[in-house]
């Protein structure tokens, strides 16, 4: 099992991340990745960039060196009703891949029913592609209720390697969520959530967990160039040329 793209990374326009776009892309190339998504925090997160960061994302070349660059965002899920950061449609226009995640600074942890209702609202949000680091144990929710409905709303689930190492107690949640994705055939991505170039593409812990439960590779959208291409093609985005697919 392997990944060929890292779909959750931060550059230093996020204050608590340290590497430039150039360094992140170079790290992806050094790791042999075909693609990287740059997914900085939404503009109303205290650590997010100004929304002009997002409106200008299309300045980034589609391909830098050997790496295809996907223009992304990591929205905060906002309390209590499950909104996302306030951002204009103009600024969102270049965004090609959007995660939505709970962060304690933007959503004070409440109880499972509050979190489940917020996630349910995200299911209906047309700007969101994927749920980010759902395994955070500060945000318990009704796993089966949300995961079983992802396919109806075209949402994928991220298994976040950083959760397994830094978010205490996430391992069992991530495993349960992954098992449900398997049961309901919900596609997932496996990402590093790197805040520095040295971690780009490092998802060893997540892959180990997925292998342990026999998770099917076909459901991991970033496990091959062809699968990643098909995922984005289904959303009207042409990512790779024919020669990249060989
Ligand atoms: Zn996050
Ligand atoms: Zn992140």
**In the chain, what are the domains?**
5-238 (3.20.20.140)
State the residue for tokens 């150039």.
22
**What pLDDT does 197 receive?**
98
End-to-end CA distance of the chain: give it in Å, rounded: 19
What's the pLDDT score for residue 163?
86
Q: Are strands 130-131 and 97-101 parallel, antiparallel or unpaired?
A: parallel
Distance 243 CA to ligand 2 centre (A): 31
Query: How high is the pLDDT of residue 244?
Result: 79
The 10s digit of each residue's pLDDT in 104-138 is 999 999 999 999 999 999 999 999 999 999 999 99
For residue 241, the CA-to-ligand 1 centroid distance in Å is: 31
How much distance in Å is there from the Cα of 243 to the middle of ligand 1? 34
Ion ligand 2: residues, Cβ under 5 Å? 74, 193
- 67-98 pLDDT tens trace: 999 999 999 999 999 999 999 999 999 999 99
Distances (CA, A) of 110 to 78, 115, 137: 12, 7, 12
For ligand 1, the distance from its centroid to the CA atom of residue 244, given in whole angstroms, is: 30
User: Three-class SS string for 189-240?
Assistant: EEECCECCHHHCCCCHHHHHHHHHCCCCHHHECCCCHHHHHHHHHCCCCCCC
Percent over 70 (pLDDT), the chain: 99
Mean pLDDT, all residues of the chain? 96
3-state secondary structure of 101: strand
Phi, psi dihedral angles at 227 (to 5 degrees):
-65, -40
Q: Which ligand is nearest to the CA of 14?
A: 2
Q: pLDDT tens digits for 130-175?
A: 999 999 999 999 999 999 999 999 999 999 999 887 766 789 999 9
Residue 132 CA to ligand 1 centre (angstroms): 6
């Amino acid at each position: 099992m392997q990944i060929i793209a890292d779909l959750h990374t931060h550059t230093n326009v996020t204050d608590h991340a340290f590497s430039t776009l150039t360094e992140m892309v170079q790290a992806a190339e050094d790791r042999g990745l075909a693609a990287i998504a740059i997914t900085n925090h939404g503009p109303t997160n205290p650590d997010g960039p100004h929304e002009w960061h997002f409106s200008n994302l299309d300045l980034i070349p589609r391909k830098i060196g050997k790496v295809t660059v996907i223009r992304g965002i990591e929205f905060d899920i906002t309390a209590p009703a499950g909104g996302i950061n306030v951002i204009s449609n103009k600024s969102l226009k270049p965004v090609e891949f959007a995660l939505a995640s709970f962060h304690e600074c933007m959503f004070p942890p409440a109880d499972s029913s509050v979190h489940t209702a917020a996630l349910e609202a995200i299911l209906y949000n047309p700007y969101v592609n994927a749920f980010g680091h759902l395994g955070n144990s500060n945000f318990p929710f009704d796993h089966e209720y949300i995961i079983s409905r992802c396919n109806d709303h075209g949402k994928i689930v991220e298994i976040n390697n950083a959760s397994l190492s830094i978010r205490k107690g996430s391992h069992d949640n991530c495993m349960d969520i992954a098992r449900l994705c398997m049961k309901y055939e919900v596609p997932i991505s496996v990402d590093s959530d790197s805040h520095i170039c040295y971690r780009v593409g490092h998802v060893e812990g997540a892959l180990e967990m997925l292998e342990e439960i026999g998770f099917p590779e076909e459901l991991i959208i970033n496990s091959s160039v062809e699968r990643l291409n098909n995922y984005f093609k289904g959303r009207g985005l042409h990512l790779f040329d024919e020669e990249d697919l060989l």
